Structure 1
Amino acid sequence: MSSSSSDENDEIEERLDDIIEDFIDEIYDDIVEAEPIPQRTRSYTERHREGGQHQLSNDYFNDDHSIYSIQTFRRRFRMNKGLFIRIVDGLEQFFPFFQQRKDATGRWGLTALQKCTAAIRLLAYGNSADTVDEYLRLGESTALSCLHHFTDGIIQLFGDEYLRRPTAEDLQRLLDMGEKRGFPGMVGSIDCMHWEWKNCPTAWKGQYARGHGKPTIVLEAVASQDLWIWHAFFGLPGTLNDLNVLDRSPLFDDLLEGRAPRVRYMVNNHMYKLAYYLTDGIYPKWSTFIQTITLPQSPKQQLFAQVQESIRKDVERAFGVLQARFAIVKNPVRTMAKEKIRKIMRACIILHNMIVEDERDGYSMRYEISEFEEGESSRTSKVLNATPTLNEIPTILNNIFPNRNDLRDRQTHERLKNDLIENIWNKFGDED
């Protein structure tokens, strides 16, 4: 009797459980599933982009009567109007993103002028992406897309020309400029600049920040007197100093591998074959680096230190002009994508060099080296053939191109520095 009654009780409990579960399911269906599922909707703002294009054209690009002058255009766009039109036409021709197209409703989209102007404004002023909405009539996400497509297009279209290593003609002009200023064989000055990375990932902050400082990314650059940046190596963590960056830099790769033009110059009746850069005191005493004299003792050393420190400021001036033209490089960078940061810096340097070339005639750099264009008699710095001819090839291959020991030869460095001290004194010493 007891066993049968217990089985009946178990069956009753199971039935009650089933009834309760069914009841709960019905209540859930009635209360929860009956409510409509909220759909994520995307708000649309009618910005009247046609009006933005019309206003932009009337302000700057109406040939007959633009509202703002070419001087105002130069100040706000950081370049002359002709150069900006050249950039817009090139991007519109080769990149579909900058070509004006119709949407599904048959309405025309943004023009290349609107997209390029938005990108230039973000680079020039370093503001957030939605600041161009009120004038150019495009949203924040569209402005960011314009910026990144613009940097990609600038790199692909103009990178090979305006981030090139010096050709034989470029190198001869740099040598003439250096000889005119009292440093035969000098092809520029080198230094490093740090760009603060505001939104650096937390896991990387120890790698990119020194002590309690803010995370930064390092740019190594070589600049000449006309502020052209001939070498740019960017992307290393801010914890590295100039020597660590130099150790990883491809600065001398072309020279060691035989791709760079060969030079020859004379200083104080001594012949040298390796061009050099002016640097500050942290760089090593190599034959390709010339530093100042920290504690000059004689009048000759004092004059040399004065002239060297003034000319070495070329790269500092280049950094200052680059940051003044493109405030995005001066302000802390906000994006987290390191590749996008690298492209922004690379595009800014390309645009900087394009502006330098466009305004070089006004800078009157040809006047600096006019005496060397009259003939070869007064020129002591010459660029030889980039590759040796059959008659020039020696029997030992190591004699064709310099090796690392030649670049780092301290004795050559000391001898060259002493000759430069005498050359500076002979050239400028009587002026006092």
Structure 2
Amino acid sequence: MASSSRDELGQALDEEFDNIFQTELDNALYSYDDPQPPTKPKKKRVYIERHREEGHIRLWNDYFGENATFPPPLFRRRFRMNKHLFIRIVDRLSNEMPFFQQRRDALGRSGFSALQKCTAAIRILAYGCAADAVDEYLRIGESTAMKCMEHFVNGIMYCFGDEYLRKPTAQDLHRLLIIGEIRGFPGMMGSIDCMHWEWKNCPTAWKGQYTRGHGKPTIVLEAVASQDLWIWHAFFGPPGTLNDINILDRSPIFDDLIKGRAPKVKYVVNGNEYRMGYYLTDGIYPKWASFIQSIPLPQGDKPSLFATCQEACRKDVERAFGVLQARFAIVKTPALIWDKEKIGNIMRACIILHNMIVEDERDTYTQFAVTEFQQAESSGSTEVVSGYSDDTPSSIVDMMATRTRIRDQVMHEQLKNDLVEHIWTKHSTNHV
């Protein structure tokens, strides 16, 4: 009896050991197949019924209806442009960009309208506000508002970039030179300068490259603006540690001229003929034939008058930067976006919208009357011919020769002296 009980006890221990071994083996196999420990179940996303249809109806009744609640001046103030221009943008985007076309969901409900999406994007660009700031009025959530802004920026560049971010054509250049001659600077094509946009969410590894001194990381915009605040050239992206000269070395502003794709220009200053236009700059730019700076310490009446006129006309680009930042506060406040490419798209889209507004409202604030412009056009010495210039470079040697003409310091001094005499003669004749 004792031996049989010992056998039963041993058999029970063997069975228990087998069970423990199998359990440990199963756990080992499970951990090998799925090394990640089981995670807690995610919380279910809270659905918010925003009643987007009511948001569209409210927007329509406030601004776009026949008896709109808010008059045109308030529309211009809040949308930064006149109503017909905004409707033109909405129609173009809804016809060419699938994102702005209104669709129905699986329940048959209509999605956000093109007016809601474009208004959300304009409000973010114009006020520089957070994406969820438009939720209460337009009934658009934060993530959808960010998508509206990104697609709106891409759509503006796709639909209007070729027309409103172009380089001056022969007709544009002729108009710029006539205006420059009226202001006392024959051959002037505008003024050039740089603007910094702070990048708050700059990656830590890049901060040393984009930060100058003990300041904040910034991205630089180089621009050329005319008297009517149209921005003809925009080069955005260099890091903020670069100054205007370093950025000029990277800029494509003279590429068309070097490659012979620029229209021919001819004008006369103080009896001397010139065949290359120039830009007004501040003192940091080099003394090239394509740049005219002021005189830092003018001695005498003629240099003082020239310095006064040059500094007054050079403020065109400063005014353009100020108006651009006033219209679109997003480029004035620190950029909160991480992606540099998206920041560049926002800057270019704001410049395109700025030029569209300038074209739409140019006649309301121009300094020059039509008769004055026609008289200067008929009696002036400026001549612009479209097409390629006669000295189109056929080799790298010709391109280097054109580059040397652009940087000619002797021509710079001669042109500057002729402009001093021309402005003195012009103002003395007007006073007589």
- The two structures have a TM-score, normalised by structure 2, of 0.89
Residue 402 of structure 1 and its aligned partner are, at CA, apart by 6.3
Asked whether 1:151 is paired with 2:150, we answer no
Residue 414 of structure 1 and its aligned partner are, at CA, apart by 0.1
- For the residues of structure 2 that align with 1:401 and 1:193, how far apart are their CA atoms? 30
- For the residues of structure 1 that align with 2:61 and 2:106, how far apart are their CA atoms? 28
Asked whether 1:410 is paired with 2:409, we answer yes
Residue 378 of structure 1 and its aligned partner are, at CA, apart by 1.3
- For the residues of structure 2 that align with 1:110 and 1:385, how far apart are their CA atoms? 46
Q: Which residue of 2 aligns with 1:340?
A: 342
- For the residues of structure 1 that align with 2:18 and 2:49, how far apart are their CA atoms? 56
AA of the residue aligned to 2:82: N
AA of the residue aligned to 1:38: P
- The two structures have a TM-score, normalised by structure 1, of 0.89
Residue 424 of structure 1 and its aligned partner are, at CA, apart by 0.8
The structure-2 alpha-carbon separation of the partners of 1:290 and 1:180, relative to structure 1 and needing over 3 Å to count, comes to same
- For the residues of structure 2 that align with 1:271 and 1:14, how far apart are their CA atoms? 111
- For the residues of structure 2 that align with 1:145 and 1:395, how far apart are their CA atoms? 46
Q: Is the 8 A contact 1:372 1:379 kept in 2?
A: no
The structure-2 alpha-carbon separation of the partners of 1:336 and 1:37, relative to structure 1 and needing over 3 Å to count, comes to closer
SS in structure 2 opposite 1:171? helix
SS in structure 2 opposite 1:244? helix
Asked whether 1:192 is paired with 2:194, we answer yes
AA of the residue aligned to 2:180: G
- For the residues of structure 1 that align with 2:96 and 2:303, how far apart are their CA atoms? 55
The structure-2 alpha-carbon separation of the partners of 1:298 and 1:110, relative to structure 1 and needing over 3 Å to count, comes to same
Out of 37, 44, 48, the residue aligned to residue 51 of structure 2 is: 48
Among the aligned pairs, what percent are the same residue?
A: 63
Q: Is the 8 A contact 1:266 1:272 kept in 2?
A: yes
Q: Is the 8 A contact 1:195 1:217 kept in 2?
A: yes
Q: Which residue of 1 aligns with 2:136?
A: 134
Q: Is the 8 A contact 1:258 1:401 kept in 2?
A: no
Q: Which residue of 2 aligns with 1:324?
A: 326
Residue 57 of structure 1 and its aligned partner are, at CA, apart by 0.5
Q: Which residue of 1 aligns with 2:33?
A: none
Out of 222, 238, 244, the residue aligned to residue 236 of structure 1 is: 238
Q: Is the 8 A contact 1:189 1:223 kept in 2?
A: yes
The structure-2 alpha-carbon separation of the partners of 1:36 and 1:266, relative to structure 1 and needing over 3 Å to count, comes to closer
Q: Is the 8 A contact 1:289 1:413 kept in 2?
A: yes
The structure-2 alpha-carbon separation of the partners of 1:239 and 1:104, relative to structure 1 and needing over 3 Å to count, comes to same
AA of the residue aligned to 1:96: P
Q: Which residue of 1 aligns with 2:68?
A: 66
Unaligned runs of 5+ in 1: 1-10, 30-34
Q: Which residue of 1 aligns with 2:84?
A: 82
- 1:19-418 to structure 2, matched below 5 A, reads 19-20=19-20, 38-63=41-66, 65-364=67-366, 367=369, 370-374=371-375, 377-388=378-389, 403-418=402-417
The structure-2 alpha-carbon separation of the partners of 1:355 and 1:372, relative to structure 1 and needing over 3 Å to count, comes to closer
Q: Is the 8 A contact 1:235 1:342 kept in 2?
A: yes
Q: Is the 8 A contact 2:228 2:366 kept in 1?
A: no
Q: Is the 8 A contact 2:179 2:373 kept in 1?
A: no
AA of the residue aligned to 2:402: N
Q: Is the 8 A contact 1:255 1:401 kept in 2?
A: no
Moved more, 375-384 or 415-424: 375-384
Q: Is the 8 A contact 2:277 2:290 kept in 1?
A: yes
SS in structure 1 opposite 2:197? strand
String of CA shifts for 1:82-108, please: whole Å, max 9, x gaps: 000000000000011001100011110
SS in structure 1 opposite 2:121? helix
SS in structure 2 opposite 1:428? helix
Q: Is the 8 A contact 2:393 2:399 kept in 1?
A: no
SS in structure 2 opposite 1:127? coil
SS in structure 2 opposite 1:359? helix
Residue 322 of structure 1 and its aligned partner are, at CA, apart by 0.0
- For the residues of structure 2 that align with 1:401 and 1:384, how far apart are their CA atoms? 23
Unaligned runs of 5+ in 2: 1-10, 31-37
Residue 148 of structure 1 and its aligned partner are, at CA, apart by 0.2
Moved more, 203-212 or 35-44: 35-44
AA of the residue aligned to 1:412: M
AA of the residue aligned to 1:187: M
Q: Which residue of 1 aligns with 2:35?
A: none
The structure-2 alpha-carbon separation of the partners of 1:395 and 1:95, relative to structure 1 and needing over 3 Å to count, comes to closer
Q: Is the 8 A contact 2:178 2:376 kept in 1?
A: no
- For the residues of structure 2 that align with 1:181 and 1:134, how far apart are their CA atoms? 50
The structure-2 alpha-carbon separation of the partners of 1:177 and 1:323, relative to structure 1 and needing over 3 Å to count, comes to same
Q: Which residue of 2 aligns with 1:32?
A: none
What is the number of residues matched between the two proteins?
Answer: 412
The structure-2 alpha-carbon separation of the partners of 1:18 and 1:365, relative to structure 1 and needing over 3 Å to count, comes to farther
The structure-2 alpha-carbon separation of the partners of 1:107 and 1:49, relative to structure 1 and needing over 3 Å to count, comes to same
- For the residues of structure 2 that align with 1:208 and 1:221, how far apart are their CA atoms? 19
